[in-house]
Structure 1
């Protein structure tokens, strides 16, 4: 059984959410499976766009958006076959998560090191309060590869 890994971009600035998601999507060869936990009419049928992001940000309650990123290119160094993108709006905050399964052809330590660099790059380009990555759920500090630029127990 393969392990699942996760990189979390925590408390993304709502004003940067659309451009951040577009930037992340550009790293993927193809996209599929866009789904939103709340009904926003026809907004979600056009994919991730300004209207959808505005609806998510304006929504009073919690919302989850998911999408599959196929052949996701991490900084030109590593290509992950499938990454699961999650955008979670809760209590007025927005987190963006990238999840993927271990692949026998990849050195997971190297993948996580490159993902740390990728998350750091995103945090500098966009207003992201904190980022971390590790075994899913990456919220568990004991199974993290990194928290920000600091290596964790698995790093």
Structure 2
């Protein structure tokens, strides 16, 4: 069984959420398999839309939206075959998560270093202060490859 890795962007601004999701989607070859945890009405596409994000933000409870990104490219350095993009709205906040397990046949250290540079680029572009990556669950500081610009335990 392979390891699962994730990159987390915490407390994404509502105004930047759609732009962030679209930016990440454009870095992949194709997008498919949209699943939404709550009934927010008709889903008219295979990807997260502006309308769907607006409905999720205005929804009273918690919501999770998940889609599959195929051939996601980290800065032209690393391409990941399949990445799960999750948008999690909870307690009036939104986190965006990238989760993957199928890594290229190179050292995971190289993959996660490229992931850190990619996350840093996104955090600067979309003004996100808190981002980190590591073994799933990346919230565990003992299994992090990076927290912001700082290298982690792994």
Fold-level similarity (TM above 0.5):
yes
* Long gaps (5+) in structure 1: none
Q: Compute the displacement of 1:107 (Å).
A: 1.8
* Equivalent in the alignment of 2:122: 122
CA contact (8 A) 2:79 2:104 kept: no
CA contact (8 A) 1:112 1:133 kept: yes
Larger strand share, 1 or 2: 1
How many residues are matched?
Answer: 153
Determine if the alignment matches structure 1 residue 6 to structure 2 residue 6: yes
Residues 70-127 of structure 1 deviation map (CA, whole Å, 9 limit, x = unaligned): 1111111111010011110000010000010043613210010010011110111103
Pairing of 1:6-155 with structure 2 (within 5 A): 6-42=6-42, 44-46=43-45, 47-103=47-103, 105-154=105-154
* Long gaps (5+) in structure 2: none
CA contact (8 A) 2:66 2:84 kept: yes
- What TM-score, normalized to structure 2? 0.96
Could you tell me how far apart the structure 2 residues matched to 1:89 and 1:127 are?
18
Secondary structure in 1 matching 2:44: helix
- What TM-score, normalized to structure 1? 0.95
Could you tell me how far apart the structure 1 residues matched to 2:69 and 2:86 are?
11
TM-aligned CA distance change 1:109 to 1:151, over 3 Å: same
